A and B are shown apart, each in its own frame.
Chain A
């Protein structure tokens, strides 16, 4: 059996995207928190641009991830979960996905409204979909920050829920999203 066909697990691609995006989201959030208090310097300019590039990368990868999820449905919820638990888990995932798009889009718009078009990796100019406008820029900055904190809170809930399942309910639901280590080595040992 190929690892991607393991029953009750997410596909390899879904697992890779989950952890790659987890890392990118945490990094972008931390850089975002740190950079805003810096005074104008080359470091500040660098961090702002890297943050924007990370945000656009998160947006693109999330789009791909959503497409993948729609074509490759995730495994069924654990049988031990109540209907309410299932609904809550489903709702939390919807909210997380919404934020994967809303946070970067608000940041992109904030940058455009401030008069700084986003140039992805310094090479690919992205369109401005809002005009340059100080009041709008201020509003979008607040929105981007509020949404980011919202996403951070949702990620916190998500992690807490995963740990609760693993260590309190002990239903090993969290293992579905861990790299399939035992299966990767299995084919070699069987040869």
Chain B
């Protein structure tokens, strides 16, 4: 019995070690949610309205030596949106805007990553919001501080491409078509750039 247990234990440890080694080889950085943010700025008659998403998942594989092989997928819980007023938060989840009941998640998936200068990358991928997919090019800057690597960038999208703000709200003299998306992801487990 004891020998059998030992044998099982050894197999278990070996499996665990093997799994960990495989994980390390796969180079899967993880996101430190508390220090990461995805937000946006929209304009109403010239007034900047800033919002953010409290909840999102990031999956990525990234080896600084071979950035072209990197993959990035971000899935945002759209209903976790935060806006300056309660009124705005009640409004933005409605069918005319994000329609979170039918489209709970907004997704970005990379198709190609290109390294520019040191620490600067250009990620091409598809952004899907409210069932509409658009190809976007996202400039990303990596900055390493201690254990963490911060990936930040911004891009401008057109809200009407994604049917965000339907009916009366398509009027771009009230709400600009341009919306700036800004993000900063804190990543752990990335080797020196």
Contacts and interface: CB of A to CB of B under 8 A. Distances in A.
Contacts of A41: 168
B111 to A, nearest CB: 36
A46 B171 CA distance: 11
B85 A115 contact: yes
Nearest to B168: A42
A62 interface: no
A40 B168 CA distance: 11
Contact of A122 (B46, B91, B169): B46
Contacts of B88: 40
B84 A119 contact: no
Contacts of B50: 115
A190 interface: no
Interface in A102-137: 114-119, 121-123, 125, 132
Contact of B84 (A42, A46, A116, A121): A116
B82 to A, nearest CB: 11
B45 A46 contact: yes
B117 interface: no
Contact of B45 (A49, A114, A115, A125): A49
Contacts of B49: 115-116
A115 B49 CA distance: 8
Contacts, number: 44
Contact of A123 (B46, B174, B175): B46
B48 A45 contact: no
Contacts of A117: 47-48
Contact of B47 (A40, A42, A49, A132): A49
Place the interface of chain A in its size category: 10 to 19
A141 to B, nearest CB: 12
B190 to A, nearest CB: 34
Interface in A21-59: 40-42, 45-46, 49
B171 A42 contact: yes
Contacts of B171: 42
Contact of A119 (B45, B85, B175): B45
Given A42-B168, A122-B46, A114 B85 contact: yes
Contacts of A45: 44-45, 174-175
A115 B44 contact: no
A42 B46 contact: no
A117 B49 CA distance: 9
B174 A114 contact: no
A119 B49 CA distance: 12
A114 B168 contact: no
Interface in B41-67: 44-50
A132 B84 contact: yes
Contacts of B47: 49, 116-119, 122
B161 to A, nearest CB: 20
The 5 A-B residue pairs with the shortest CB-CB distance in the complex, in nearest-first order = A115-B84, A122-B46, A119-B46, A42-B174, A49-B45
8 contacts: A40-B87, A42-B174, A45-B44, A45-B174, A49-B46, A117-B47, A122-B45, A123-B46
